[in-house]
A and B are shown apart, each in its own frame.
Chain A
């Protein structure tokens, strides 16, 4: 088991290096940089710009820039955000935390609702609950996060139950820690629900078809033949085996979730990585874009890593391979 964990862990390093190299290459191909607009400003002398460029190593070829960037990253320094004029490290981690929390809560909501629904749809196949949930799933698969997020904003504005966008109220800084926590949670609920709703349909359909497949297996018939109660047959024998393939789609679901979070953050003004990426993109702060892409990828890769470990833990065949 430990050798499997180590192997997977070592596999992540070249992947993250490759992703950072690719993003860096792409950003270096971008026409113009942060200083292109500054150089049009007559109040800033060309000397200042040249000095600033040298300070950020922007006057060197992209692979040299990459090595400077990598060296800093490895010592935990994400550099200085040219657009925000603050050190990028704190900014990135604060946004990363927001995105992580949003995705994590959405994940819990989505799986918490989708799995029981999928199980009951499979157990009571062709009943109203099965038909109803598969209809909802079809609609859920086809509805885009954009529409869901816009509708959520509309609901928030019409009912006043939820704040319209953002992560904190204007008076957040004056609140007590407990109030601050509630304020943050209050802002988090709606985006998380939107994100979860978009992700739920796929998981539910997968759960249903997995359980239907296992219910057809011979050991289920054998368990029934031995006279076990239907509840024990389904929940003790079939369900445990139906969960396994679900862990493999966890990574896929996580990838969808992060892309979905990108949209939700931008529409509902949730200050996460996706929103920061767009802000950095428009400000031409290319280092910050690279940082965001690498951090989002790291989030996904670590999520996949955890899913792999869980799978290996629940299915010994995987780690022996």
Chain B
């Protein structure tokens, strides 16, 4: 009893760590938190894409090309799926009245691999064979757009994060070296950065794409896109980190580290770069959308992820056909997914930037 009061006082007076302050400031920005929650949701669904998707990305329903979205609806104590029949004419479908089957949860269906490793057949939901469940309709090959959207997110969502990790790690180390050593090293690196940044991004992306063979396996294409996007992305990061390093290396803690006999590489990685971290995190969050869009554009133009593998970019290629676009607008679903993802990253990044700005407290 006697001890409790002094402890609580010392606890309340204990200085907050910079990261804790950062978190407290971030928590107050509701829009940023909303962006974060959306992203957590999207990325968790991505992890369990095979489980959440009722079908696999390549499963074709040859009786139902361009089927409009089928929505389950509540009926009594069940959720039921209506049956559709095809009418004469080009892909016209009509709901059959009073013909429904209940929706099941945790049903067995197509085989998939959970996390790309564990074979599994259980899906979150599904229905009977003649009562298919196409939440976002089907495409020109009779494949379920919703399932393909989820499988596509495995590529489109992860490629942004992997690309950022690679290019920012490169940018930080090269920028740190450039700023720390200055002189000829600095000049050469910075001129090369300028060179890369002076070519309009997509033109450079296509030139880089030309250096790879046209037909590759999907995992090779994935690695290729990461390499291409990182090759372009590191330059702007390196320039900023170099500028920060130029002022950081004059600080006393660097002098102290040097006088203690630390190697140059250790000083850069252990002492200088951690000081740039709050900037890097903000910049990374705001840059992920560019990497996601980079993959989307490459796949959309037909030089990225190839059919039948799904990516948000190559799914949109079907919508380029004006006839498809007018009659089957659900083919635009991937662009809505892209929009929500990019918006969420922008919300979160904007909040992170404000929270990292210590003047704002």
Contact = CB atoms under 8 A, between A and B. Distances in A.
B198 A301 contact: yes
Given A138-B343, A266-B301, A150 B316 contact: yes
A15 B211 contact: no
B326 interface: yes
Contacts of A15: 194-195, 198
Interface string A16-58: 0011001100110111000000000000000000000000000
B91 interface: no
A142 B343 contact: yes
Contact of A18 (B195, B212, B322): B195
Interface stretch (A153-161, A184-192, A231-239, A242-250): A153-161
B300 A146 contact: yes
Main secondary structure of the interface of B (DSSP, over half): helix
Contact of A144 (B203, B207, B342): B342
Interface stretch (A120-128, A215-223, A255-263): A255-263
Given A258-B200, A266-B301, A281-B303, A147 B335 contact: yes
Interface in A185-233: none
Interface stretch (A86-94, A111-119, A286-294, A311-319): A286-294
B198 A146 contact: no
A141 interface: yes
Given A147-B338, A157-B326, A266-B301, A19 B195 contact: yes
A126 B301 CA distance: 42
Contacts of B197: 255
B63 interface: no
Nearest to B303: A281
B200 A297 contact: yes
Contacts, number: 122
B325 A293 contact: no
Interface in B307-331: 316, 319-320, 322, 325-326, 329
A27 B332 CA distance: 34
Given A157-B325, A281-B303, A297-B199, A150 B335 contact: yes
B200 A154 contact: no
Nearest to B316: A146
Contacts of B342: 141-144
B194 A146 contact: no
A293 B301 contact: no
Contacts of B332: 147, 150
Nearest to A165: B322
Nearest to B345: A142
Contacts of B301: 266, 278
Interface residues of A, number: 46
B208 interface: yes
B346 A138 contact: yes
A19 B335 contact: no
Given A146-B297, A147-B335, A150-B325, A293 B198 contact: no
A274 B300 contact: no
A274 B202 contact: yes
B346 A142 contact: yes
A39 to B, nearest CB: 16
B204 interface: yes
A296 B325 contact: no
A262 B202 contact: yes
A27 B207 contact: yes
Contact of A300 (B198, B213, B322, B325): B198
Nearest to A260: B202
Interface centre among B289, B296, B320 (most CB of A within 10 A): B320
B211 A263 contact: no
A23 B207 contact: yes
Interface in B281-311: 289, 293, 296-297, 300-301, 303
Contacts of B338: 144, 146-147
A262 B293 CA distance: 13
Interface string A127-149: 00000000000110111101100
Contacts of A277: 203, 206
Nearest to A278: B301
B269 interface: no
A155 B320 CA distance: 13
B210 interface: yes
Contacts of B297: 146, 263
B209 interface: yes
A306 interface: no
A296 B213 CA distance: 24
Contacts of B202: 258-259, 262-263, 274
10 contacts: A30-B210, A30-B211, A146-B297, A150-B332, A258-B203, A259-B200, A262-B200, A293-B206, A293-B207, A297-B200
List of 10 A-B pairs having minimum Cβ-Cβ separation, nearest first = A258-B200, A142-B343, A147-B335, A262-B202, A29-B211, A142-B342, A30-B210, A259-B202, A293-B203, A26-B207
Interface of B: 191, 194-195, 197-204, 206-213, 289, 293, 296-297, 300-301, 303, 316, 319-320, 322, 325-326, 329, 332, 335, 338-339, 342-343, 346-347
Given A146-B335, A255-B201, A297-B203, 10 more contacts: A141-B346, A142-B289, A147-B332, A150-B325, A153-B325, A258-B203, A262-B202, A263-B297, A289-B210, A293-B199
Interface of A: 15, 18-19, 22-23, 26-27, 29-31, 138-139, 141-144, 146-147, 150, 153-154, 157-158, 164, 255, 258-259, 262-263, 266-267, 273-274, 277-278, 281, 286, 289-290, 292-293, 296-297, 300-301, 304
